[in-house]
Structures are given as C-alpha cells and as structure tokens.
Amino acid sequence: MAVAALILTGVFALLDVARHVIQRHRTGDAGIRQFSVGPGSLQWWAHWGMEFGTLITGVAAPIADLTGLAPLEVLDHPVARGVGTALAVLGILATFAAQLAMGASWRIGVDETERTVLVTWGPFRLVRNPIFSAVFLAFLGLTLMVPNVVAVAGFAAILVGTQMQVRRVEEPYLRRTHGTAYTDYASRVGRFLPGIGRLRSDQRNER
C-alpha cells in the first residue's frame, strides 16, 4: 500500500499544478497568495502546518513504511487499508472538483486587500469549505493506507493547520469583506460537514 499511497500523492500534486494552470489560463492569475504572507504570522503558521502535514502523511509515512516502520496495530487491517484507498481516491477527485467550482474566486491563501465573489453554489451549498473537507477525506484515506505513527502525526498537523486557517484567517476575512451576506450564509451552512459548525445567532453580530 505504501507505493500506492505515494502514487496517489503524486496524482494529487499533479492535479494541484493543473488547477493553477487552469486558473492562470482562465483569469491570468494562478491564484497563489500564501507567499505574500509575512513569516511568523498566523496565516503563515497555518499554511505551512498544512503543507508539512501533507508531505509527512503523503510522502514521509509511505517511505517510512517501505523502510520498515511498523504500522499501528489498532489501524492495521486489510479492510481499513482498502477503505483508505477508496477514501483517498474520492478525496483527491472531490478536492479538484471543489476547486473548479470556485471558478475565478479560487485562491491559495488570503490577500486582505482583495475582494472576490462569495461562492455559495455547487458543493458550497452543502458545506462552506468543501475543498478542505475533501482534503481531510483524502489524507484520512492515505493515513489508513499506511497506518503508522508518521502518517497519524502528519494528519494531525493537517487538521490543526486547517482549523487555524479557516477559523482564524478565512472566516474573519470573509466577515469583514462580505458582511451579512457571509454571516447569513454561514448561519445556514456547516463549516466542514453539512449542518455542523453553522454560525450561531450570537456570532453573527461579532466583528
């Protein structure tokens, strides 16, 4: 499964490059914003936490498996590995589809000076962050495919970095930029899962 996990990680990386190419072709802008963020800022830590987490889970964990690192017994089962493969494939495809659904508004990172269209259609009708939801699915699958301590640590880093990015960077930015249009939307639609993490009435008036 380690080789298959590395191949799927490579496919994920290629689709990420393809998304940037498509974005530049359609808009003249590749959508990359994270490199303009100051080192040490909250967004910087969130972004690189996610990036290192993906490398640890998708690359370091399979290599560790190939070099003899034992899997965690509680997760080491053929059925779990098979389910993990299916989740990884589904998550990778869903990530790409959700990115395409954002159209010209798709970005990696937040530029505080920029105002993009608030996307509430397609998969964004079900959850506010379908891209991150799909990434979680993909890397949960990769973790189950190569269930060692390295993969689990990487997946934990992805979860923490994503929570920081969404809760502390993107949601405050969207509130400032779109005001009640965003808070009304967030009160109806869950954060990562349908119906879960909706903005409460007492949060809608926060700034």
pLDDT at 99 over 60: yes
Res 118 pLDDT > 70: yes
Stretch 180-196: mean pLDDT = 95
- CB contact at 8 A, 116 and 105: yes
Judge whether residue 170 has pLDDT over 80. yes
pTM reported for the whole predicted model: 0.90
CB 1 within 8 A of CB 146: yes
Length of the chain: 207
**Cα dihedral sign, 171-109-19-146:** negative
pLDDT digits (tens, 9 = 90+) for 140-152: 999 999 999 999 9
Of 41, 19, 20, 33, which is closest to residue 113 (Cα–Cα)? 33
H/E element, 165: none
User: Residue 63: what pLDDT?
Assistant: 97
| pLDDT tens, position by position, 8-29 | 999 999 999 999 899 998 888 8
pLDDT band at 202 (very low <50, low <70, confident <90, very high): low
pLDDT of residue 3: 97
For 190, phi then psi, to 5°, come to: -70, 160
Confidence of residue 205 (pLDDT cuts 50, 70, 90): low
pLDDT category of residue 44 using cuts at 50, 70 and 90: confident
Residue 201: its pLDDT value, please?
Answer: 62
SS3 20: helix
Whole-number mean pLDDT of the chain?
92
Answer for the pair 59, 9: CB distance below 8 angstroms, yes or no: yes
